Structure 1
Amino acid sequence: MNKIFSALAEPHRLHMVELLRDGPLTVGEIAGRLGLSQPQVSKHLRVLSEAGLVDVQPIANRRVYKLRPQSLQDMENWLGSFRRLWETQFDRMEAYLQALQAKESKPTDE
């Protein structure tokens, strides 16, 4: 998981992943959309590939990159464990606030 987050921490690589969300692209297409040189894009894509985030398919003299769904599913599963923790905490806070409101709305004996 560290490799994935480390790869995504770099803004250009995160933008590349966002571009690839819409479908496979060549290095040249990514370079054109991000305003980067092809060597820069290739270097970033290599990092994303090593992190398991993208797959590459050579077609003639071009390389087509696409997102690797399994790595994204692994991230979702990892984040899901934290989501359950947060939801439990929010449920407790909601119950506490409701108890406070009930306590405040009780008529007091004078």
Structure 2
Amino acid sequence: MSQAADQASPDVFAAVADPTRRGIVELLALSDRTAGELAAAFPALSRPAVAKHISILQRAGLVETHSVGRQRVNRLKPMGLSDVITWTETLNRYWDSRLDTLKALAEEEARHAGHRTQDQD
């Protein structure tokens, strides 16, 4: 396992592994919302189920809740995603390197194939 993944909170990865919670994160990235507003975006889920998802996101450090008058408003804590971002950037660098190597090999093979074709003429 990479150093970035070792240092990351497993709660963050578990939290974003669920598609509903990823949807909640995406909605909160657009604007702060109440639990009711979030529940309205997921009609197949009960409001208590959405509240449970919000609670998991809070424990993972991805969402904070504050009061605005009588309402409890949820806000994304983007820094909570830093472990996930670091981990995916590490993987991106790995795949970029692998793809660069593959490209160089393909270009070298194409050059050799071109020389073979010219030699046969």
Tell me the TM-score normalized by structure 2: 0.82
Instruction: Name the SS of the counterpart of 2:66 in structure 1.
Output: strand
Instruction: Name the SS of the counterpart of 1:84 in structure 2.
Output: helix
What stretches of structure 1 of length at least 5 have no aligned partner?
none
Q: Give 1:109 shift.
A: 5.5
Does the CA-based 8 Å contact 2:12-2:81 persist in structure 1?
A: no
What stretches of structure 2 of length at least 5 have no aligned partner?
1-7
- Give the share of equivalent positions with the same residue, in percent: 32
More divergent stretch after superposition (18-27 vs 6-15): 6-15
Task: Give distance in 2, aligned partners of 1:100 and 1:54.
Answer: 51
Is 2:108 aligned against 1:99?
yes
Give the count of matched residue pairs. 110
Tell me the TM-score normalized by structure 1: 0.89
Instruction: Name the SS of the counterpart of 2:75 in structure 1.
Output: strand
Q: Deviations over 1:81-105 (max 9, x none)?
A: 1111111111100000000000000
Map of 2:13 onto structure 1 = 5
Map of 1:108 onto structure 2 = 119
Is 2:72 aligned against 1:63?
yes
CA RMSD across the alignment: 1.6
Greater RCO, 1 or 2 (C-alpha within 8 Å, sep 6+) = 2
Map of 2:86 onto structure 1 = 77
Task: Give distance in 2, aligned partners of 1:22 and 1:15.
Answer: 11
